[in-house]
Structure formats: C-alpha cells, structure tokens
Amino acid sequence: MEELQLDTHRAVRYHWRVWELTGLMQPDGISRLWYLAYSLALNASVTILFPLSLMARLLFTHNMQNLCENLTITITDIVANLKFLNVFLVRRQLHKIRSLLKHLDERARQVNHPEELAALNEAVTTAQKGFQYFARIFTFGTILSCVRVAISSKRQLLYPAWFGVDWENSWRAYVICYGYQLFGLIVQAVQNCASDSYPPAYLCLLTGHMRALELRVRRIGYGTRRLHSAHGELLDCIRDLMLVHRLKGIIQRILSVACMAQFACSAAVQCTVAMHFLYVVDDNDLSAMILSIVFFVAVTLEVFIICYFGERMRTQSEALCDGFYACNWVDQRPIFKRNLIFTLARTQKPSLIYAGGYIPLSLETFEQLMRFTYSAFTLLLRAK
C-alpha cells in the first residue's frame, strides 16, 4: 500500500497552506473576486504597512543602540517581504514543479522498489520537519517579544515603530498599536516561516528524486531477466534524468533571488546585531542582549540550512553519476554502451544551485560567510 500513498509534493503542503492563507495561492472552491479582496486587504495592512512603520521609526532614532535594534528588525522584515514577493512572482514555476513531481512519483510507483520509496518518503519527512523547525524559531521569537514587553518597567511596543499617535500617554492608542503589531507580527512570522523553509524543502525533494534515480540506475543489467531488458531500462532512466534536470532548472529559477536575498540579509543583520550587542552589553539590558543573540543565531542558521541542503544535492548528483558507472554495462550491447557514454557526458559536472546566479549553495560558501562575519565583528570591536 505504500506505493499508492507516494506523493512527494506533500513535502511542501504546509508551505502551500501558508501561501493560501496569506493571499498568494487561491484555494479551490473560493471565489476569485473574494480571494483577491482578501489578499489585497491582508497584504496592504501587513506586508506593506508593517515594514513602513518600522522604517518611519528610523527617522526618529537618536542613539546608536536604538538605531541598531531598529535597523536589525527593519532589514530582516524588508528582506522577508521581498522573499514573500518573490514567491508571488514565481508561483507559476511552483505549479510546474508540482506537475513534474507527479510524473516522477508515477515512475517511482511503477518501479515500486522499497529502497526508492523509502528514499522519497524520507525526503518528504525531512522537508516537513524543516518547516516545523522554522515554525518553532518564529514562535519562540514572537513569544520572546511579548515577554519582553510584559516584563518591561515602562510601556513599550513589541518592536520600535512609528504610528503617528501618542501611544505612550494614551492607553487606547497603545492597545490599538500593540494589537496591530501583534497581528502583523503573527502574519509576518507565518509568511517568513514558509519563505525561509521552502528553499531547503525543494532542495530536499530534488535530492530525494536524484537518490531514487541513482538506486534505479545501479540495478540496470543485473539478474537474468534484466539482461534482456537492460537497454529499455536505461532509456527509461535517461527520460527520468531529463525530468530531474528540468526540475533542477526550475528550482534554480525560483531559489536564485530568494537565496541571494537571504545571503545579503544575513550579512547585514549579522554586522548590525554585532554592533547592537556591543552597545547593549554596556547597558546591561538582558532582554535586548537575548533578542540580539536570537536574531544572530536565526539568520546564521537560515543560511547554514540552505547551504547544507545545497551541499547534499551536489553530493547526490555525483552519486547519481557514479550510479551509471555501477550498472552492469559490461555485458550489454553496443547501443547500450553508446547511450550510456552520452549520458555520462551530461552527468560529469556536479549539479549546483546558485544564489543570484553565481554564489553556489554549498558548505564552502557558508564557511566564507562566517569568515566575513568574524572579520567584520573583529573590526567593529577594535573600532569601538
């Protein structure tokens, strides 16, 4: 019964549900006009106005500590909204991925090999756990912001923002501003959870289908029955390889801008948080220090996870190439060997996803980013 339940698109079902709730993907059975009105109202009131209130507050900041704190939040929120906008722009590509996954799933169900099915289901499980991991991070951050306000000795908002009203001296204005910030923070956290976790989820899916194809290729030509049908199996695997390459090409297009934005955001936030941390240490503001550490760890882990799954995909592409070498090509006919040579020529170069078209998603890139962060932090420490 396991093969009948195979649906690798389940790996991003949480993401699609979030995109439906936040006005990006229209669900079935809902009026297009009603959903358009809902989407415009939600995104105008949160996706646009929320970061604008943060940016406006920058104009009224008078000291370095508040500037760093506000700048950290503002940069993170603006980049998060840009990634959310990118999802809207690539939504047609996401539908194409869904269609390709159906074809690859159908092939896996036809082959019905336990190892392949296990590899694909493992990829789905890993992607879903990734979403849950990000959800815990954003939940913790939201709760921490609320706790910080609750234990504060004076009235303050969840995040530094400008609303054009005197909320410090008006209880009603404060409740309205706080309520809006809490609502906006929850919506933004849900958006960011999907925006930050869908790149590793799609990389995980791509890696899983590469692994399933590798296992399929390695079995070609072995066994008495397979000896006579080896060439047909090779042609089927070549067709599957073409589908995997198409899937990789679409994933490259949808992740290029998102990953580049994440790299830029991480570098900027890490430097700003470093400055903020250096100043709040002197003031013994424990809650601000904890918030700075949480921001620093969060943006660093976001980049690490993307680079980690990019590295896994690259390693799996090399294993897929090795799989063609490992099949029983010695006993096959010349036409088999000729097609195999052509296929090997196409799989020699490891597959990589590039942020912005030129920064590879690999652990080496993450190491270089950490070196840059350390150098920047050391420079700030000396300049203090």
DSSP per residue over 149-173, as a string?
HHH-SS---SS----SS-TTT-HHH
Q: Identify the band that residue 161 occupies on the pLDDT scale cut at 50, 70 and 90.
A: confident
Residue pointed to by tokens 């066994």? 223
Long-range contacts of 23-27 (CB under 8 A, 24+ apart): 24/84, 24/87, 24/88, 24/91, 25/91
Q: Taking 80 as the threshold, does the pLDDT of residue 135 lie above it?
A: yes
pLDDT computed for residue 299 by the predictor: 80
pLDDT computed for residue 65 by the predictor: 65
Q: What average pLDDT does range 305-324 have in this prediction?
A: 92
* 266 touches 371 (CB < 8 A): no
Task: Return the closest-CA partner of residue 330 out of 214, 211, 220, 217.
Answer: 220
Please state the pTM of the whole predicted model.
Answer: 0.88
Q: Identify the band that residue 370 occupies on the pLDDT scale cut at 50, 70 and 90.
A: confident
Q: What average pLDDT does range 296-313 have in this prediction?
A: 87
Task: Return the closest-CA partner of residue 195 out of 258, 142, 267.
Answer: 258
pLDDT computed for residue 30 by the predictor: 87
Judged by DSSP in three states, 355 sits in strand
Q: Output the CA angle 20-257-273, nearest 5 degrees.
A: 95
